[in-house]
Structure 1
Amino acid sequence: MRPRDIKVIDMMLGVPMREDRSDWFNFFKPLLRDQQSLSQFAMPAQYMFKNIPTAEGVDDLPGWTVSEMDRFGIDQALIGYNEGSPLNDIVRDRFADRFIFDMPVDPNGGVDVVRAIRRAHAEVGIKAISVFPCGCVPQVPINDKRMWPIYTLACELDIAVLVNVGVPGPRVPMAPQHVELIDEVCWFFPELRFIMRHGAEPWEALAVKLMLKYPNLYYSTSAFAPKHYPKAIIDYANSRGADKIIYAGYFPMGLSLERIFTDLDSVPFKPEVWPKFLRDNARRALKLD
């Protein structure tokens, strides 16, 4: 049973901007080919999730999100920063102490992306850069040369990178996210803090091997209901990996906070693992101290 007195840091949370969120994945729609994904899904991996949460009838969406965080003991949350989005200004003005920013990027943008990251770091203080390799157009493998400027800049700015790994939920090719591609990146950038997102399945055992090998490689539990956390990850957290496994949700993209935190009570972490999993590892990986 998880402790109730830990102030949680959620490494993947969103603030909905509208009741209809069917356009939030437009950036990689050119990769989708099946009609169900293109015309029926409200989110690109809808076939994997039930009861996707909505904020129907809510006027103050940022305020509602913070009230949901309070209800489940989430002290701070990492959310995406997008240049020019009015949401970012609202969140920063009203809830600066509750949200931390990462910047989602497509490395195909080259030097323009590098400039945008520098601006966001100087103006907003982003703590991480995030990349969805299988969702880039065209796709960008984890160890591709287009990623190298992103990793170099992360080292220079001393911020983390969050990268989706494993088979993607959306129906797009999976090769760019094979976990073995992380090996070259961590070897070449030993100071890079690399945080795996979205499960690493079916290569979670390889993810564990690589975390044993590389000190700055971490794993976050984003997009997985806790009852589906891979056994290899739970076993690793309870042994040599207590400092490497980080809590991340998927609210409101696919999971409700009620579902996540109800399931968490059944995760068999050792007592000493819980504070690291729910808070301390995120603080260290993002250098929040």
Structure 2
Amino acid sequence: MSFPADSPIIDTFIGFREAGGGEYDFITAQTKDRESKEEFSFPAQYMFTDVPHDLPTDDPVSVTLREMDAHGISIGMVSVSTASGRRAVATHPDRFVPLGSAVDPHDIMGTLARMRREHEQFGIRSVSSFAAGTFPQVALNAPQMYPIYATCVELGIPIFACVGVPGPRVRMAPQHVELIDDVMFDFPDLVFVTRHGGEPWQDLLVKLLLKWPNLYFSTSAFAPRHYPQAIVDYANTRGADKILYAGYFPAGLSLERIAAELPGVGFRAEVWPKFLHLNARKVLKLDA
């Protein structure tokens, strides 16, 4: 179970601290409780105690690179929806993998055009979905999502989708884990990677991971000591090829904390390289 300190690490959820903020306005606009609207600088602030707030914002790409170098992150997947993300993948293509802009099921044709444009221009390796963050909300298995899934299959890229109870104080129904079953049934060639844990339905998620060959789990937004035990057990038995490392820097977790806690995760020795980088290489087709 020893942690391989010299192993490459591919982080499938990393980003940049931008000047001015405002990246969470789309969540704040739809919350109703006073804390979310008036006090929180981060929509799930009540859940996270060590959000890295004091990062310099004059050169976000260099800041993230320094953190990656300090904590053994070889490659990070970053969104090309921001200027920093576009600059990162252009100037450091060996360190950053392009993630497409978040999909918008309220603008289906615009989203499909943007996916194809970003695939051609940046070579995006995936797109992302936050069902509970859409407004009005659109469920994972809603008809509006189906053209997006079909385009992922057409382009040969996975979708990384938030599932389970969301941290921000918005309704959870659009992200219920059972909805994934409909998606995988209708799109057996779609590669679907879950984000943000799937709690409290992690046992159901393990059943679906067993059932569907193209369904994967990433550990985003969870400090390593809080990885669901059902997922650790699954990785150590039949699921070593299905679990991907993802952090949450700088959105909610510091890489320092993640690096300190990772060695304590009870993965078997043969699971670690798959979890840290090999599974991400396969899903994102980095060796193609």
Structure-2-length-normalised TM-score: 0.96
CA contact (8 A) 2:18 2:57 kept: no
The residue aligned with 1:160 is 158
The residue aligned with 2:9 is 8
Deviation at 1:57, TM superposition (A): 4.0
CA distance in 2 between partners of 1:81 and 1:131 (Å): 14
Deviation at 1:56, TM superposition (A): 3.6
Deviates more, 1:168-177 or 1:27-36: 27-36
The residue aligned with 2:48 is 49
CA distance in 2 between partners of 1:235 and 1:175 (Å): 27
Q: 1:89 to 1:130 in 2, by over 3 A?
A: closer
State yes or no: 1:61 paired with 2:60: yes
The residue aligned with 2:95 is 98
State yes or no: 1:121 paired with 2:122: no
CA contact (8 A) 1:164 1:197 kept: yes
The residue aligned with 1:175 is 173
CA distance in 1 between partners of 2:56 and 2:229 (Å): 39
In the alignment of these two chains, the number of paired residues is 285
The residue aligned with 2:239 is 241
Q: Classify the secondary structure of the residue corresponding to 2:97.
A: strand
Q: Which of structure 1's runs of 4+ aligned residues deviate more than 6 A? A: none
Structure-1-length-normalised TM-score: 0.96
CA distance in 1 between partners of 2:34 and 2:189 (Å): 43
Deviation at 1:49, TM superposition (A): 0.3
Percent of aligned pairs with the same amino acid: 49
CA contact (8 A) 2:196 2:221 kept: yes
Question: What's the C-alpha RMSD, in Å, of the aligned pairs?
Answer: 1.2
CA distance in 2 between partners of 1:51 and 1:205 (Å): 28
Q: Which runs of 5+ in 1 are unaligned?
A: none
The residue aligned with 1:70 is 69
The Cα offsets for residues 55-97 of structure 1, whole Å up to 9 and x where unpaired, read as 4445322112101101111110111221xx3223421332121
CA contact (8 A) 1:55 1:61 kept: no
Q: 1:57 to 1:164 in 2, by over 3 A?
A: closer
Q: Classify the secondary structure of the residue corresponding to 2:193.
A: strand
Q: Given residue 141 of structure 1, which amino acid in structure 2 is its aligned partner?
A: A
Q: Given residue 254 of structure 2, which amino acid in structure 1 is its aligned partner?
A: S
The Cα offsets for residues 179-232 of structure 1, whole Å up to 9 and x where unpaired, read as 000001101111100000000000000000001000000000000001000110
State yes or no: 1:87 paired with 2:81: no
Q: Given residue 213 of structure 2, which amino acid in structure 1 is its aligned partner?
A: P
